[in-house]
Amino acid sequence: MTAPTGNPHSDPAARRAHLNREARLRQLPDIDRDLVRLGQMPDLDRWLDQIRATGGCAAPVYLAGHSTTIDAGSGDVLRHYSTVDEPGSRLAVRCRNRRATRCGPCSREHSGDTFHLVRAGLAGGKGVPASVRTHPRLFATLTAPSFGPVHRAGPCHRARRGTCPHGHRHGCGLDHPQDDARIGQPLCPHCYDYVGHVLWNSAAPTLWKAFRDNLYHHLAARAGVGRTAIRKLVRVSAAKVAEYQKRGAIHFHAVIRLDGPDGPHTPPPAWATTDLLLDTVRTAAAAVALTPPESAAYGDVRLRFGAQLDAHELSDGDGSRITDEFVAAYVAKYTSKSVETAGAVDRRINSLTDIRALRVTPHVRALIATAWRLGGLPELAHLRLRAWAHMLGYRGHCLTKTRAYSTTYGELRTARAEHARTLASTRELFTDWDTETAVESVWRYVGQGHSPAQQLIAVGIAEDIATNREIARNSAVGGSHPVHSTLESVR
């Protein structure tokens, strides 16, 4: 007779118990079955610690490997961490997706980093001197021009009379509530310039660059110096976020600051005032005019910014809405959103069949199809419009900044890792920047994502963290955060 080993492969009693348990599990709905399995995981507590450390990330990346911190002088091993002792010999780390539709917790962390990054550039901190508050600073919004009338919130094109050649009325006359699905949709899709719209989105990063170059050129003209000399007198530092309007056109919100020639630590020359910067921003944007690559698909096209340019001086909070805090929160908010704001999709398109199957408005479908069609033309191949069709042609980054503006995401993460190091050994994963120590790490990707039960638990952890943060914030400021409550009002 075989001695009971507890191993279902060799011990009949253990095997019967195992089969009974499996049979009972099969009678449960999928999610419950998965939860019971998870509950039986031998090192469940450690797995929960890992998920807590990711903030309840919705799609954690699992890594296997090790990290050894060595004293560079003596060669002594100061710390050693390996995933061998972790559940499944692997470690969960954040997916770091900035989009709220992909991962709520990571997008919130990214928004927080963006807030600190933008705020440091405005008010100082994180290595930026507080004296930047005295430099000329603006918050500007640069939009796309019109590609044809679209329905808009509130009274919609009341004054326009007559019809277009396709029989659509030029005016709409309705009063659209803020959440009306028609807002951003063209009055006549046949009259709408889809080609111009997609080309503009595609050129948006180049338009922004041309605007920044113009800023220097126009500053040079005002100072009466040459284009090379101006860069020895003044530095334009900026951070900008790209956002989709309801109609699917990109626009930019930018923080623009004038520094001395060596960046934030040097004051700008006395002639470089806020008023001068306001004027220069206007003329520099108006002067941008780019020609897209020549193509038989369209005639003469000039790409420009829209006439509607919004620029405000930033205040230190003396009753004005446009404060440092406000702007930092406003910009941070948009980094967690993307093309979804325009009702488009956040994944790549692979074929025309894909486009037909999308659950989007006819307007978004027309924009994606236009990008796809233009992307097939050899003369436009370098624009890679098919790869960026789901982004309605825009292939730029959500947030960009000039080098001297403020800190970086990487530095913020390193600072957070340094802080967290004492709290959890798993944070060893981050590189140690101390000059006296060396870190030797080997990491391998072993998978990503949660099972349904794991997902449920991660969501619970993320909600707990969000609730705790909310409680901490409310008790700290004695009410809801004033910056967030005014976010919508400036739009």
The residues that touch Zn ion, with contacts defined as CB under 5 A, are 57, 94-95, 103, 106, 151, 156, 164, 166, 168, 172, 174, 188, 190-191
Minimum distance between the CB of residue 443 and Zn ion, rounded to whole angstroms? 17
Minimum distance between the CB of residue 164 and Zn ion, rounded to whole angstroms? 3
DSSP string, 81-99: EEGGGSGGG-EEE------
Q: Could you give the C-alpha distances from 354 to 201, 340, 360, 457, in angstroms and in order?
A: 21, 17, 12, 33
Of the pair 145, 148, the CB lying nearest Zn ion is at: 148
Minimum distance between the CB of residue 455 and Zn ion, rounded to whole angstroms? 12
DSSP state of 394: -
Chain mean position to CA 84: 34
Torsion of CA 87, 88, 89, 91, to 10 degrees: -60
Minimum distance between the CB of residue 424 and Zn ion, rounded to whole angstroms? 17
Minimum distance between the CB of residue 186 and Zn ion, rounded to whole angstroms? 9
Of the pair 13, 181, the CB lying nearest Zn ion is at: 181
In terms of Cα–Cα distance, which of 7, 54, 18, 44 is closest to 426? 54
Of the pair 124, 189, the CB lying nearest Zn ion is at: 189
Minimum distance between the CB of residue 298 and Zn ion, rounded to whole angstroms? 18
Strand, coil or helix: what is 255? Answer: strand
Residue 118: φ, ψ to 5° = -70, -45
- Rounded distance between C-alpha atoms, residue 342 and residue 361, angstroms: 10
Of the pair 14, 191, the CB lying nearest Zn ion is at: 191
DSSP string, 193-253: -HHHHHHHHHHHHHHHHHHHHHHHHHHHHHHT--TTGGGGT-EEEEEEEEEE-TTS-EEEE
In terms of Cα–Cα distance, which of 327, 371, 281, 251 is closest to 486? 327
Residue with tokens 């020359």: 269
Of the pair 110, 253, the CB lying nearest Zn ion is at: 110
Q: Are strands 61-71 and 437-448 parallel, antiparallel or unpaired?
A: antiparallel
471 CB-near residues (< 8 Å, 6+ apart): none
Task: Compute how many other C-beta atoms are within 10 angstroms of the C-beta atom of residue 208.
Answer: 22
Minimum distance between the CB of residue 426 and Zn ion, rounded to whole angstroms? 15
Of the pair 218, 450, the CB lying nearest Zn ion is at: 450
Minimum distance between the CB of residue 163 and Zn ion, rounded to whole angstroms? 8
The span from the first CA to the last CA of the chain, in angstroms, equals 80
Of the pair 55, 393, the CB lying nearest Zn ion is at: 55
Of the pair 151, 373, the CB lying nearest Zn ion is at: 151
Of the pair 190, 473, the CB lying nearest Zn ion is at: 190
**Contact between 254 and 240 (Cβ < 8 Å):** yes
Strands, E assignment, 306-395: 309-313
Minimum distance between the CB of residue 172 and Zn ion, rounded to whole angstroms? 3
Of the pair 190, 419, the CB lying nearest Zn ion is at: 190
Minimum distance between the CB of residue 420 and Zn ion, rounded to whole angstroms? 16
Contacts 24+ apart (CB under 8 A), 370-373: 370/194, 370/195, 370/197, 370/198, 371/198, 371/202, 373/297
